[in-house]
Structure 1
Amino acid sequence: MPSSPSLSEDLPGLPPGPNETLQPPSAARHLENHPEHEAERTWKGPAPWWLMALTSFNRIIWGLTFMARFRLYSQLLYLQVHVTGGFIQNTRPFFEPYLAEKNAHLIHSSRDDPVQVSMVIDLFSVSFLVTEILTLLTLAWWGSFSDRYGRKRMLGIASIAQLLSCLMVLLVANYVQVLPGAYVYWFLIFDIIILGALGGTESEFVTVLAYLSDVSMGEKRSRLFTVVLGLVWAGSSIDVKLGDFVLQKTSSLLWVFYTAAALRIIHACLVWFILPESLTREQMHRTTVAHQETHLSTTSEPLPLLWFKRLFFFLKPLSMLFPEKVSPANSPVRRDWSLTILVAASATMVLVSSPLAVFQWFYALDKFGWEKLSNYIPLISNARIISLVLILLCKIYSLHKSDGQEATLSAHKLLNGSQGSRLLSTPDVSITSLFDLGVARLSVLVIIATYIILPLAPTETIFTLFSVLQTLGAGFYPVTNSLAFELYTGGIKRNGLVESGKFFATLHLVFIVVP
C-alpha cells in the first residue's frame, strides 16, 4: 500500500512527524514517489558520464583558441599601431594564407615591435583584471541560480556565452578594416566582459561539480571529481595538437576560431537538448522559496545595515563557510571549525602554489631554454593524468571494494525534544573521507618537497623528472572539494536544503580572492 505524502515534505520549515523516516540531507537523494524521476532509472537520466564527456569536449574547445587568441590579438593590436586616418589599411595579409608570404616582413615585425608587445600585455592584463572582478561579483549569484533554476540551464547559458565570445572575435577580425582605431581594442574588452559577467569559466566548472554532487553519494564523489579533473588535463593535451592541425591545413588563424565556433554550437546543442537535469522540480522549488524568504527578511532590516549588505553583497555567501554551532548528545554547545579550517588550508595552498607555478615555467624557460623543453607541457599533463586516473582512482576503488563502500565510524543521532523531533547530525567519518584526508595531506607534502628541490635540478632532465614527481600531488584539489562538500552536508541545519551550486561557487570564490 503506497504511503501518503507527509506535511513536512511539502513544507520544508516543519519538523518531521512521529511516523516519518528521517533522512540525512543529501543533494544526491531523489524521491522515488514523483513521476518526473522515472527517467532517472534509464540511460536518459542524470548520470556522471554526461558531464565527463561534455567537460572533456569543452576543455578541448577552450584550449583550441587559447594560443590562437593570443596570436590573433597580437596581430590585431599591431594593426592599431599602423592606423592611417583612423582606419586600418591592408589588414588581410595577417589572416589570408595566400598573402602571408608576400607580407612576411610585416608579420615578423609585429612580433618584435615593442609598442605592439606592450599593447598585448596591457590587453591581457586588463582582460585578466576585468574577468577576475566580474567573476568575484557574480560567481556566487550564478551558483545560486543553478540551485534555483537547474544545472542544465546554467550550463546552457555558459555555453552560449562561450559561443558569443568566439563570434565576437571573428566579427572583429573580419571587419577590422572598417572599425575606427580604438574600437577594435574595446570590442575585444567587451568580449571579456561577456564572459566575466557570467561568472567566467569558474561558473561552468562549479556547476559541473554541483551536478556531480547531485548524482553521486559521498563514497563516489571524490572519484568523480578526480576523473573530471583528469579529463580536463586530458583535453589540454589534445587541444594544442588540434589547433596545430587546423593551422597546418588552413594556414589561417581565423579558421581555428571558425572550428571552435562550430564545436561551440554542437556543445550548446548537447547541453540544451540532450543533457538531463540533475535537480528535481521539488528541489528547485524549495531553494527558490528559501531564497525569496531570505531576501524578504533582509529588506526589513535598518536602512544603514541594508545598504552596507547590498554594497558587499558578493561577500555574503562566505557565511556558508563559517563555523556552525552544534550540540552533540550530552555535550555543551560548541562550534564546528572543520569546514572553515579545511577551506583556509586549501586557500593557503592556492596562495602559495599559484605564483610558484608561474615562476616554475619562467625558471625553466630561463635556465634551459624553450627548445630543450618543447615536450615539457604535454609530458606534465600526461603525468597528471596518470597520477589521477591510474594511481589515485585505483587506490580509492580498491579501498572501497575491500570495505564494502558502506563502512562508517559514526552515524546520525536523533534527539527528541519537547517541541518535536529534531535531527542533530555529526558528519559521517567514513573510510572514504579518511582516505581523502590522507591523500590531501600527502599531496601537500609532495608539493612542498618538490618546490624545494626543483631549483637544485642541474639539468633539464632532472628538472623534468622533479616536475613529474610533483604531479603526484595533483589529487589535492579534487579530494579537498569532496571533503568540503561532505562537511557541508554532514553539518547542515537547513531542514535538508542543500545548495551545492552556491556552496561550490563560494568555495571557489575564496580561491579567486586569495591570490
Structure 2
Amino acid sequence: MVLPDGQINEETMELLQEFIHPHHEADETLAGEDDLNDEDEDFKQRAEARCKLPWYKRPSPVWFLASVGASAFAISATIAPRIELYTQLVCDIHKPNYTIGRGAEDYGMYSLYADTKERSRICAADPEVGAAVATLVMVYSAAMGVLGCLTTGWWTSLSDRVGRTNILGIGLLGVLYSDFNFISVATFSKYLPGTYWWFPLGALVEGMFGGPATLNAVVHAYVADIVEPHERARIFSLFYGLLFCGLAFGPTIGGLIVKFTGSPLSVFYLSTGVHTAYALGIWFIVPESLSAAQKRESRRAYEASVAKGKQDAIDSPILYRLKSIFGFLSPLSVLWSIPDGSNTSPNPLKSRKKDWSLILMALSYSFAILLMGSYSYKFQYTSKVFGWTSEQIGYWLSIVGVVRAVYLTLILPLVIKLFKPKPTPAVQLPATADEPLIRSRPSSPSPSRSPSRAPSRNPSHTPSITPQSTTQSIVFDLNLARVSVLIELIAFSALPMAMNPLVFTALSVVSCFGAGHAPAAQSVSLALYARRGGVESGKLLGAFGVLQVLSAQIMGPALFGMTYVKTISTMPGTIFYVSSAAVGISLILLLFVRIPEPFKDIEEREPQGARTPLLVHVQDETLVDPDADIPVIVVNAASPKVASSRDD
C-alpha cells in the first residue's frame, strides 16, 4: 500500500484510512451533504466533457504509467555510479599520486574512462578522499532539500492556477539542467575553477524548480483531478507496482551498463535521455487535467488570499513576516493543536486529559525516517570496506529492493489479513417481535424474506463497528510498528560487525522486514488524530510530509555526513551505530504511545443518544404480546441503561 520511504499524499491517506476503519463513515450536516453533492455533480459534468474529447486530448492517468517506472529506473540506475564518479574526481584532486602509468596533463578524462578497478578501490579506501566525497554529498543533499522544502508548496499551489502540465514542464527543466550540469562537470572538471564543487549548482537549480517532491505532488494532483476517489486506490497501486519494478531493476541494469561500457558516466547519458523523453511528452503530448473554469476559480481564491495577506501585513507586519518566513512549518501545528469540539464532555467540570501520543508518533517517525539520509554514505562504506564497485553496489541495491517490494506487496498484506483483528459490527435491535438478534451487515436483506417479515430499516443507516474492535485494530498497527522498528534496530546494530559481504547482504535483507513501520505508523497516527476529534486528515499528513523532508532530506544527510567525515579514518561503521541510535529512540517513543480506551473516549465525545449498543437482550416473544412494543435493555460502554417504549 505505502512505500516505506515515500512521500505522504492525499491518496495514501485514503488507503490508510480504509486500512484502519474499513466501514467507518463520518456523520455530515445537511449543508455538508449539499456541498458534497454539488462537488460530485461538478466532477461528473467535467468527466462527461472529457469523454467527448479526442483520445489524444483527453487527460488520463495512463499518460503517466510509462513515466513512473522509467523515472524510477533512471534514478535508481545512477545512485551507485554517482558515488563512484564523485570518488574518482575527488581522488584526482586530493590524491593524484594514485594515478597509475599516466602523466598529470591527462588525468581528468582518463580517470573517467580508463581507470582500473584497482585504482577505484584504492581511492575509495582512502580516508581523505572518503571524507571529501561525504562532504560533497552532504552539501548536494542539503541544497536540494532546503530549496525543495521552501519551494514545493509554492509550485504546487501555482499548478492550481496555471495548470498541472505547465508546472510539470517547468520542474522537468530543473531535472534536465541537473543532468546536463552533472555530465558537464564530470567531463570538464579539470578546466573549471573549483572542479567538482560545481556539482551542487545542479541541486540548487533543481531545488528552485521544486525538485522531485514537486513533480510527485503535481502528478498526484493530476490524477486526483480526473479520477474518482474510489478509483484512485487502483491507479496508485499500479503506480507503486511500476515504481517498485524501476527501483528493483534499475541498479542492476545500471551496473551492467557500467560493466560493458567501462564508464560510470554512460549511465547518466541514459538517464538524461529518459528525462528528455519525459519532458517532451509533458510539453507536447500530455493534455491538461484542469479546465479553464477551474483555473479561474483558483485564481480568484488566490487573489482573495493575497488581499487578506496585505491587510494582515498592515495590521501586524512583524507577525506577517514571521509567518511568511516559517510558513512551510505551519502544517506541524496540527500535531499539538486540539481540534474544535474535542474537549466536549457530559461533565462540564471534568477537563480532558492531554494526550501526547500523536506527538510521540510524529517524533518516532522523524527519527526513523532519518535513515533515508544515510544511503549515500553506506555506499561509500561498502566501497571502502569491501571494495565494491558501482556494478556490485547495483546488485546489492537490486537484491534489497526486490526483497522490500515482495515484503510490502505480498508478505505484509498476508500477515495483516491473517492476524489483524477483524472489524466486529455492532448488534442491531430487532425491528419486529419475531425477528432474532442480528449483527449489522452492509448487505441488504435477503430477497427470499417475505415483505411482511422483512424489517423496516433506514436505507441510509450506516452499519457501526464496535469500539473494542476499532481499538484492537489500532493496537495491532501500533504493535506492527514496534516490531518493525525492533527488526531494524537488530539489523543496524549488527551491520558494522559484518566483515563479510555475504553477511552484510544478509543483514541488509533482514532490515527490509522492518519496512512495515512507515505504513503502520501513519495508520496509527491517523487513528489517534480521529480519536481526539480531528476530521481533516490531509492536514495531519501534510505535517508528516514536512517532517519527512526535514528529517530525510536535510537533517539526515547532514547528521550522517558529518559522522562519516569524522570517523572514516578510525571507525567507518559508526554511521550504522548512529542509525541504530536513531531507530532505538524511535522504538522508545513508540513504547510510550497509548491508545485511548474506547469507552472512555466515546463517553466524553458522543452524546448519550449516539452511544453504540454493545449487548442487547430482548424478552422471549412467547411472554409478550406480539403487537406490543418490546422492552429493550441496552448495555452501553459506561453503564447499563434500560430503555422501555410502550404506548400509553
Report the TM-score, using the length of structure 1 for normalisation. 0.69
Match of 1:384 among 399, 404, 414: 404
Counterpart-to-counterpart distance in 2, 1:205 and 1:343:
27
Give the equivalent residue in structure 1 for 2:200: 189
Give the equivalent residue in structure 2 for 1:235: 246
Q: 1:310-356, CA deviations, whole angstroms, 9 ceiling, x for partnerless residues? A: 332332454577554359999999xx99xx97686255224235349
Q: 1:261-289, CA deviations, whole angstroms, 9 ceiling, x for partnerless residues? A: 11111111223333343434333333332
Maintained 8 Å contact 1:61/1:260: yes
Give the equivalent residue in structure 1 for 2:488: 451
Alpha carbons of 1:120 and 1:452: their partners in 2 closer, same or farther (altered >3 Å)?
A: closer
2:341 is equivalent to residue 304 of structure 1: no
Alpha carbons of 1:507 and 1:29: their partners in 2 closer, same or farther (altered >3 Å)?
A: farther
After superposing the two structures, state which structure 1 stretch, 220-229 or 264-273, moved more.
Answer: 220-229
Alpha carbons of 1:127 and 1:240: their partners in 2 closer, same or farther (altered >3 Å)?
A: same
Name structure 2 gaps, 5 residues minimum. 1-28, 97-103, 424-440, 444-461, 556-648
User: What secondary structure is seen at the aligned counterpart in 1 of 2:340?
Assistant: strand
Maintained 8 Å contact 1:230/1:384: no
Give the equivalent residue in structure 2 for 1:172: 185
Q: 1:392-429, CA deviations, whole angstroms, 9 ceiling, x for partnerless residues? A: 6789999xxx99xxx989xxxxxxxxxxxxxxxx9x99
User: What secondary structure is seen at the aligned counterpart in 2 of 1:277?
Assistant: coil
One-letter code of the match for 2:326? F
2:84 is equivalent to residue 71 of structure 1: yes
Task: Report the Cα offset of residue 243 of structure 1.
Answer: 1.3
Task: Report the Cα offset of residue 69 of structure 1.
Answer: 1.6
Counterpart-to-counterpart distance in 1, 2:338 and 2:185:
49
Task: Report the Cα offset of residue 511 of structure 1.
Answer: 1.7
Give the equivalent residue in structure 2 for 1:158: 171
Maintained 8 Å contact 2:484/2:516: no
Counterpart-to-counterpart distance in 2, 1:196 and 1:378:
28
Give the equivalent residue in structure 2 for 1:205: 216
One-letter code of the match for 1:236? L
Counterpart-to-counterpart distance in 1, 2:522 and 2:223:
12
Task: Report the Cα offset of residue 193 of structure 1.
Answer: 0.7
What's the C-alpha RMSD, in Å, of the aligned pairs? 5.4
One-letter code of the match for 2:318? P
Q: 1:162-210, CA deviations, whole angstroms, 9 ceiling, x for partnerless residues? A: 111111112223323432x41x234212112112223332222333333
Name structure 1 gaps, 5 residues minimum. 1-15, 410-425
Counterpart-to-counterpart distance in 2, 1:215 and 1:207:
13
2:111 is equivalent to residue 89 of structure 1: no
Maintained 8 Å contact 1:380/1:467: yes
Task: Report the Cα offset of residue 61 of structure 1.
Answer: 0.8
Task: Report the Cα offset of residue 58 of structure 1.
Answer: 0.6
Task: Report the Cα offset of residue 109 of structure 1.
Answer: 5.1
One-letter code of the match for 2:483? V
Maintained 8 Å contact 2:481/2:518: no
After superposing the two structures, state which structure 1 stretch, 474-483 or 192-201, moved more.
Answer: 474-483
Give the equivalent residue in structure 2 for 1:325: 340
Counterpart-to-counterpart distance in 2, 1:213 and 1:53:
18
One-letter code of the match for 1:96? Y
Alpha carbons of 1:356 and 1:309: their partners in 2 closer, same or farther (altered >3 Å)?
A: closer
Maintained 8 Å contact 1:143/1:503: no
Alpha carbons of 1:80 and 1:503: their partners in 2 closer, same or farther (altered >3 Å)?
A: farther
Counterpart-to-counterpart distance in 2, 1:284 and 1:475:
39
- Number of paired residues? 459
Match of 1:349 among 365, 372, 380: 365
Task: Report the Cα offset of residue 386 of structure 1.
Answer: 1.8
One-letter code of the match for 2:110? P
2:274 is equivalent to residue 263 of structure 1: yes
2:329 is equivalent to residue 315 of structure 1: yes
Task: Report the Cα offset of residue 369 of structure 1.
Answer: 6.4
Report the TM-score, using the length of structure 2 for normalisation. 0.56
Counterpart-to-counterpart distance in 1, 2:223 and 2:248:
24
**Residues 222-301 of structure 1: pairs in structure 2 closer than 5 A:** 222=233, 224-301=235-312
After superposing the two structures, state which structure 1 stretch, 280-289 or 59-68, moved more.
Answer: 280-289
Counterpart-to-counterpart distance in 2, 1:313 and 1:110:
44
Alpha carbons of 1:224 and 1:480: their partners in 2 closer, same or farther (altered >3 Å)?
A: farther
User: What secondary structure is seen at the aligned counterpart in 2 of 1:325?
Assistant: coil
Counterpart-to-counterpart distance in 2, 1:437 and 1:40:
46
Task: Report the Cα offset of residue 238 of structure 1.
Answer: 1.4
Task: Report the Cα offset of residue 23 of structure 1.
Answer: 1.4
Match of 2:68 among 39, 55, 72: 55
